[in-house]
A and B are shown apart, each in its own frame.
Chain A
Amino acid sequence: MYRSFIRWIPRAASLLLCLLFWQLAASHHWNLGLVTFANVPTPLAVIEAALGLGDSGKLAQHLSSSLSRVFAGYLAALIIGIVLGLAIGRSKWAEDLLLPPLEVLRPIPAVAWIPLAILMFPSSELSMVFITFTGALFPILLNTVHGVEGVDPRLIASAKSLGAGRRAILLEVILPGAAPSIITGLAIGMGTSWFCLVTAEMISGQYGIGYYTWESYTIQNYADIVVGMLLIGLLGMGSSLLIKRLGGLLTPWHRPRGKA
């Protein structure tokens, strides 16, 4: 208890040091050769901008539209990623049919999807959900495949010897066996889904943290950009932590080595 408290001191100090450096660099317009802080807003200016955003009354709307887009895209990625991952991991057929096109689609960055997303979906809302979906899909899919293939074949053989059929093997052996890896994929996917948010909300008309960040850039309101960046960072971190916690509750048997 005391030790974990002690460890918060350097953590907080590290954050404070970063802030101090930022404040000094920005207020004195440091020019470090490769990078220059001449046009970077100071932390105080950012805090002011954040308070301004809070006072404007739009924060709740920005937050709720972004959260609903991220979670809709993420939920779709979760279902499709796990189902496809199970199929690819279990069957050579599914692997040969599904993996090649997915491998081609995987390296395509979210930005490149914007024009097609606008063309393919009836509303810009759906296009945005689709772009956050592409961000979350691949980490979830690939970690699921990895987890399914990592299940010990002896466990499957034992389950067969104990009378398990195909369905029982999937539900009782493959799924729980792959669960730790799937949860890792879900936590990474949560992060990448937020990662794609600014890209997605570039096509938004009004609301969203990503939209707010992008709009601030187009009207050269630098302090607001940093507020948007920090909000996305915090929300992404928070939701990834939430996924990990939930995952830990779902896999009580699984303790990372050395922490048991």
Chain B
Amino acid sequence: MSVFQHLEGRIDIRGLSISLGEGRAAFEAVQGLDCQIEPGQFVCILGPSGCGKSTLLGALAGHLQPRAGSLKVDGEDVSSPSPQRGMVFQHHTLFPWRTVRDNVAFGLKMRGIGKAERHEAADEILALVGLEGFAERWPDQLSGGMQQRVEIARVLINRPRLLLMDEPFGALDALTRLNMQELLLDIWTRIRTTVVFVTHDIDEALFLADRLLVMSTRPGRIIEDLRLDFPRPRTSELVTSHEFSRLKRHCLELLRHEDGRQLPRLNPLGLPPENKLPRFAL
């Protein structure tokens, strides 16, 4: 139904290759990837550590440039970051020097919207993620789960066509993680956008997604494309159902098959940062 209401947020990936590193250390993180994602779909990408799933997400956000192939959103090439494609990282990237409200309103400020109007919009979306009464706080004063909710609110205030999430709940404790998954689905029913959600947690992927893409180890290719028709709204009972267990076993087998070597984690901005020594003594 929603597919016909919202025609924005279609992703077209053809022959996509992304290389990371420089010179001799360069390697293909993603190779020859083809994929189409329908508008308004909730897609989870599952894969072993370092397989290039975060790299793909970084390219969708516009932080990484493809080496070959094309990456289109609604028919337009992705060339640079845009508020149309909101990104949520594993660890929050809220500005510590802005209050929660100003963090959420940041995107509107960049569009030149007046203070009163953007604060009103920020309070509205903070209520949607269940954080009324926290608008005046500094980000450091919130718990990890609350910080991620603010991060999601900050992205959603731009009404993005794509919501890109890189293991957003990976650093949270188990209970908070379950709550956040339900909250995310709840928000998604109200603000319908295409979601691309990267995770290595099979339960999480099966619980959330309309469609599950499983990626191989590096260089990342798609080795399985599953449609998940569990009825929505989904509740925690789903995870104990027979069909859920069967799919979980299937995914486990796929991943176990791929679990050859341990690769360093990649992130949506490329390679993990090296420990640089300062160039001068302070």
Interface positions of A (Cβ within 8 A of B): 99, 103, 142-143, 146, 152-155, 157-165, 168, 172-173, 176-177, 179, 251, 253-255
Whether A142 and B280, one on each chain, are in contact in the complex, defined by CB atoms closer than 8 angstroms, is: yes
Whether B93 and A155, one on each chain, are in contact in the complex, defined by CB atoms closer than 8 angstroms, is: yes
Interface: B63 (CB within 8 A): yes
Partner of B81, one of A154, A157, A172, A179: A157
For B269, list chain A residues within 8 Å (CB): 153-154, 157
Whether B87 and A164, one on each chain, are in contact in the complex, defined by CB atoms closer than 8 angstroms, is: no
For A179, list chain B residues within 8 Å (CB): 97
Whether A158 and B93, one on each chain, are in contact in the complex, defined by CB atoms closer than 8 angstroms, is: yes
Minimum distance in angstroms from A120 CB to a CB of chain B? 26
Mask for B53-69, Cβ within 8 A of A = 1, else 0? 00000000111000000
Whether A157 and B63, one on each chain, are in contact in the complex, defined by CB atoms closer than 8 angstroms, is: yes
For B95, list chain A residues within 8 Å (CB): 155, 159, 172-173, 176
Instruction: Give 13 A-B contacts (CB < 8 Å), ordered by A residue.
Output: A142-B282, A146-B278, A154-B91, A157-B81, A158-B87, A158-B89, A161-B86, A162-B83, A163-B110, A172-B106, A176-B97, A253-B97, A253-B98
Whether A253 and B138, one on each chain, are in contact in the complex, defined by CB atoms closer than 8 angstroms, is: yes
B141: nearest chain-A partner, CB-CB: A260
For A254, list chain B residues within 8 Å (CB): 96-97
A177 to B87, CA, bound (A): 20
Most buried by A among B98, B268, B273, B280: B280
Whether B110 and A164, one on each chain, are in contact in the complex, defined by CB atoms closer than 8 angstroms, is: yes
Whether A163 and B107, one on each chain, are in contact in the complex, defined by CB atoms closer than 8 angstroms, is: yes
Interface: B118 (CB within 8 A): no
Minimum distance in angstroms from B158 CB to a CB of chain A? 7
Whether A162 and B158, one on each chain, are in contact in the complex, defined by CB atoms closer than 8 angstroms, is: yes
Interface: B224 (CB within 8 A): no
For B282, list chain A residues within 8 Å (CB): 142-143, 146
For B140, list chain A residues within 8 Å (CB): 253, 255
A155 to B280, CA, bound (A): 25
Interface: B82 (CB within 8 A): yes
A159 to B93, CA, bound (A): 9
Whether B87 and A161, one on each chain, are in contact in the complex, defined by CB atoms closer than 8 angstroms, is: yes
Minimum distance in angstroms from B24 CB to a CB of chain A? 21
Whether A251 and B81, one on each chain, are in contact in the complex, defined by CB atoms closer than 8 angstroms, is: no
A165 to B93, CA, bound (A): 17
The 9 closest A-B pairs by CB, nearest first: A163-B110, A176-B97, A160-B81, A158-B93, A163-B83, A162-B107, A161-B81, A154-B93, A253-B97
For B279, list chain A residues within 8 Å (CB): 99
A179 to B98, CA, bound (A): 13
For B106, list chain A residues within 8 Å (CB): 159, 162, 164, 172
For B63, list chain A residues within 8 Å (CB): 157, 160-161
Whether A152 and B111, one on each chain, are in contact in the complex, defined by CB atoms closer than 8 angstroms, is: no
A55 to B154, CA, bound (A): 64
Mask for B138-150, Cβ within 8 A of A = 1, else 0? 1010000000000
A177 to B136, CA, bound (A): 20
Most buried by A among B61, B81, B155, B269: B81
Whether A157 and B93, one on each chain, are in contact in the complex, defined by CB atoms closer than 8 angstroms, is: yes
A103 to B154, CA, bound (A): 42
Contact status of A161 and B97, CB under 8 A, knowing A142-B282, A146-B282, A153-B269: no
A93 to B106, CA, bound (A): 30
